[in-house]
Amino acid sequence: MAATENRKAITVGVFLALGLVIFVLGVFTLGGQQKSFEKSIHISAIFDDVAGLKKGNDVWFSGVKVGTISSIKFVGISQVNVLMKVDQNTQQYIHRNSGVRIGSDGLIGNKLIVIDGGSPRAPVVQDGDVLQAEKLLSTDDMIKTLQQNNQNLLAITTDFKLLSHKILQGKGTVGALLADSTMGVQLRSSMRNLEAATSSAARLASSLNQFSNKMNTKGGFADKLLTDTATFNRIKGAVTQLQQAAANATTLTNNLNKASNKLNTTDNTLGELLNDPKGAAQIQSTLTNLQQSSVKLNEDLEAAQSNFLLKGFFKKKAKAKADSLAHK
């Protein structure tokens, strides 16, 4: 009897010990998941709508669980303050300008808090800081947006329906093009003309390309003109000479104009001869007198040769002239 009771007592003690061990392990396991035994800081964020977020849900940072939600309570009229307990080891990575938003664990998983890192230039978050919450796009907002998009799509399709109906009736430019054969022929003719103009432009471009290639031919006149400084200097000199010749021709023309203008005036001899009839008559009379005097002089010389006093002189002169001709 005593051995049986002792055996029962031992069995109960073993079960109690195993239960205590399991309880302790469970406490440590749950505490580890909730980070109850790690040093932590408390930060918070204020949301207009938490979308079903609950106390004890996870807090993520860069896809890693760094804490849990400690409490959720209302503040103000319709805002919700979410207090988060975050592992102190991750404090150095979270900055005061970090954003906080509500996410979900998978497509239909539990709601959770997601913290963005923020700018490294901002100071590190401290215990009790309040981070800026990002506005959550709720399911209702998405449904409203979808409904608005559906209404816009319906309006667009209605407009297209009316437009296609008018086109089929031949209304408008497009409808006239589709229904009127004459306009179709004109449009095809215009397209042919445009194609011909495009071909002409292509040929012109090809010709210009060939011309430019010839201009760039090594050793050609254009190439020398553009690249040979000696040829360019000679051409420049020729142009300078042409300019000087043009200037000289202009001066000569001006001088001829001045001379012709002088001939039209009576302040010079030629001008007086050309423009004064009295002076011309006097000069003509003088020439007539000179001619008559020369005739008279010839007669006087012939008379002098017949004179016996001078006959010997003229004979000697004629003989000397004949001797000089004979010697030649």
Tens-place pLDDT, residues 218-230: 666 566 665 666 6
Main-chain dihedrals φ then ψ at residue 134, nearest 5 degrees: -85, 145
Q: Phi and psi dihedrals of 73, rounded to 5?
A: -150, 155
Residues 199, 112, single domain; the answer is: no
End position of a domain, from candidates 146, 180, 215: 215
Q: What is the mean pLDDT of residues 183-205?
A: 79
Range of the domain at 89: 38-138
Q: Give 42's pLDDT tier (boundaries 50, 70, 90).
A: very high
Q: What is the DSSP string of 53-110?
A: --TT-EEEETTEEEEEEEEEEEETTTEEEEEEEEEGGGGGG-BTT-EEEEEESSSSS-
Please give the pLDDT value at position 11: 77
Residue type at 138 in one-letter notation: S
**Region 31-39: what's the mean pLDDT?**
58
Residue 134 clears pLDDT 80, i.e. is over it: yes
Residue 118 structure tokens:
């923020």
Q: Assess whether 109 and 200 both reside in one domain.
A: no
**Is residue 303 one of the residues assigned to a domain?**
no
Domain boundary among the residues 192, 215, 238 is at 215
**In the chain, how many domains are there?**
2
Domain assignment present for 43: yes
Q: Is 220 domain-assigned?
A: no
pLDDT score at 36: 53
Residue 287 has pLDDT above 60, yes or no: yes
Would you state the pLDDT for residue 198?
85
Mean pLDDT, the chain, rounded, equals 75
- Flag whether 321 is in a domain: no
In a domain, 51, yes or no: yes
pLDDT of residue 191: 80
pLDDT confidence tier of residue 272, bands split at 50, 70 and 90: low
Whether the per-residue pLDDT at 83 is higher than 90: the answer is yes
pLDDT at 85: 93
